[in-house]
Amino acid sequence: MTQLSPVLKQATPVVAVRGEGLHLFDADDRRYLDFTSGVGVTSTGHCHPRVVEAVQRQAARLVHGQYTTVLHEPLLTLTERLGEVLPEGLDSLFYVASGSEAVEAALRLARHATGRPNVIVFDGSFHGRTMGAAALTTAGTRFRAGIGPLIPGVVVAPFPAAFRLGTDLGLSEEAAVEYALRGLDHVLATVSAPAETAAMFVEPVLGEGGYVPAPPGFLAGLRERADRHGILLVFDEVQSGFGRTGRFWAHQYHDGVVPDVLVTAKGLASGYPLSAIAAPTALMRKAWPGSQGGTYGGNAVACAAALATLDVIRDERLVENAAEQGRRLTDGLRKVAAGAPVVADVRGPGLMVGNEFCRPDGTPDPATAQRAQQAAAGLGLLLLTCGVHLNVVRMVPALVVTAEQIDEAVALWSKAVAAATT
Ligand code: PMP
């Protein structure tokens, strides 16, 4: 009998047969409160009626019109509509199907456009699992070990995580930003000369690396160096984008800082495989037609799902809801943490919330984090871990989450933490 490959690691034993809003159901109709959203993908909840309707309609009209062969209406309409939410100036879009592919596309574009070989990434980064994206990933050796050699030309600079990532040096946020930017300058002076550096890739909120928001001043510091040295600044908002953090893009917490290339996926199409990079047309023109492509890029059904997602986010005010419910969630979780010292930090922004587990001496405590995550699953609350040391339990509910569902999750989490610590 064939079976699913054991290369997959399963976070929960659940076999889902259907989903509705914030809930998943198994074959016995047991209900699970889903605070994973398929790793931050089902932004409008499971099977939002408007997304379902748009997908059904499109599936009956045209499923696949491959964009190097023929264009199609959903692709053109989506390209127009994304202009409503993209930062000014990023007026050219290229689509693929997954986050990793979009990161690869950004990497290609950066090398094409600058003619420079190197790329700088920041400690704790996760950019995907394909070989180029894996080379940009520093969130743990588990994503890199045994598959090398990876592509050369990737240089790592510090991310300002003063407390997080298990390296608490007691630095203030300001000092951590200063330290990280000096580290970057040092890398540019000693390892990768600006004239050899094509791009810097950064997540405005580290995702797999532990849900660590870039502190104020860091992205502005990167922007300043990018401008000074002609290096492209790429924001990977695959996980943090599309309303997740209570702003449409997480980088909008950093007043006025805009990337040269923005990478989006996950929440973009509510679960249908679609990703994109956005950049100024003048920058995209520096690569030649045919330099990028992909059989499934901009699939018509996925584009229809993305259009419905945009409508739902606007009409149901989901960015505002993410901000409001995110505050309620972090407030509730901080109360739980106040009674459980093992939860050393609870942090947002919005609905991208991490609970970091540490031992009394401040070292990471992945064992208790995983016990709490498992206990929560047993209680019907689905959660994931993340972090360089796997000691962060993350909560990423769909943006349609209600106050009642937040309160229910916090109550279940309180029980799960108690079960994991006694
Ligand atoms: N970038 C970031 C920031 C991500 O969080 C992820 C997925 N977790 C990826 C890239 C890769 O996306 P995918 O799994 O769709 O290839």
ipTM above 0.90 for this complex: yes
Q: Is 80 exceeded by the pLDDT of residue 118?
A: yes
Task: State which ligand 1 atom lies nearest to the alpha carbon of 239.
Answer: 5
CA–CA dist 164, 172 (Å, integer):
12
For 24, the 3-state DSSP assignment is strand
pLDDT tens for each residue of 238-297: 999 999 999 999 999 999 999 999 999 999 999 999 999 999 999 999 999 999 999 999
Residue with tokens 């702003």: 247
The response to whether residue 40 sits with its C-beta less than 6 Å from ligand 1 reads: no
Dist. CA 207 → ligand 1 center (Å):
9
Tell me the pLDDT of the chain averaged across its residues: 96
Q: Is 308 in contact with 331 (CB distance < 8 Å)?
A: no
What mean pLDDT do residues 128-156 have?
Answer: 96
What's the confidence (pLDDT) of residue 164?
A: 61
Task: List Cα–Cα distances, 12 to 110, 129, 266, 371, in angstroms.
Answer: 38, 21, 20, 12
| Centroid of ligand 1 to alpha carbon of 386 (angstroms) | 13
User: pLDDT tens, 362-418?
Assistant: 889 999 999 999 999 999 999 999 999 999 999 999 999 999 999 999 999 999 999
Query: Tens digits of per-residue pLDDT, 318-345?
Result: 999 999 999 999 999 999 999 999 999 9
Query: Is the Cβ atom of 39 under 6 angstroms away from ligand 1?
Result: yes
| pLDDT, position 158 | 94
CATH numeric code, 51-315 = 3.40.640.10
| Residues 375, 421: Cα–Cα separation, whole Å | 11
> In which element (H, E) is residue 45 found?
none
Any atom of ligand 1 within 6 Å of the Cβ of 297: no
Cα separation, 72 vs 51, in Å, equals: 19
Buried-exposed string 86-114: b where 16+ CB fall within 10 A, e elsewhere: bbeebbbbbbbbbbbbbbbbbbbbbbbbb
CATH 3.40.640.10 domain extents, the chain? 51-315
In 96-203, alpha helices (H): 99-114, 131-135, 173-190
What is the 159 CA–ligand 1 centroid distance (Å)? 18
Closest CA to 200 of 215, 182, 217, 187: 187
pLDDT of the residue at 170: 74
Q: Domain 16-34+317-421: give its CATH architecture.
A: Alpha-Beta Complex (3.90)
Tokens of 36: 């994973």
**pLDDT computed for residue 161 by the predictor:** 83
Whole-angstrom CA distances from 301 to 75, 91, 276 are 9, 23, 15
| Residue to substitute in 36, 95, 126 for testing ligand 1 pocket (most ligand atoms within 8 angstroms of CB) | 126
For tokens 């997954």, what's the residue? 98
Q: Is 81 exposed, middle or buried (0-12, 13-18, 19+ CB in 10 A)?
A: middle
Both structure tokens of 318: 């989901």
| E strands present in 222-285 | 232-236, 261-264, 275-279
- E strands of 280-358, at which residues? 343-347, 353-357
Whole-number pLDDT of residue 269: 98
pLDDT exceeds cutoff 60 at 167: no
Per-residue pLDDT tens for 44-66? 999 999 999 999 999 999 999 99
Mean pLDDT of 69-97: 98
- φ/ψ of residue 238, rounded to 5: -55, -45
**Angle, to 10 degrees, between the axis of helix 300-315 and the axis of helix 73-82?**
40
The pLDDT of residue 274? 98
124 C-beta closer than 6 A to ligand 1: no
pLDDT-derived band at 204, boundaries 50, 70, 90: very high
Q: How confident is the model at residue 169 (pLDDT cuts 50, 70, 90)?
A: low
Q: Where in the chain is the domain with CATH 3.90.1150.10?
A: 16-34+317-421
Mean pLDDT, range 131-148, rounded to an integer: 96
pLDDT at residue 163 is higher than 80: no
C-beta 36 within 6 A of ligand 1: no
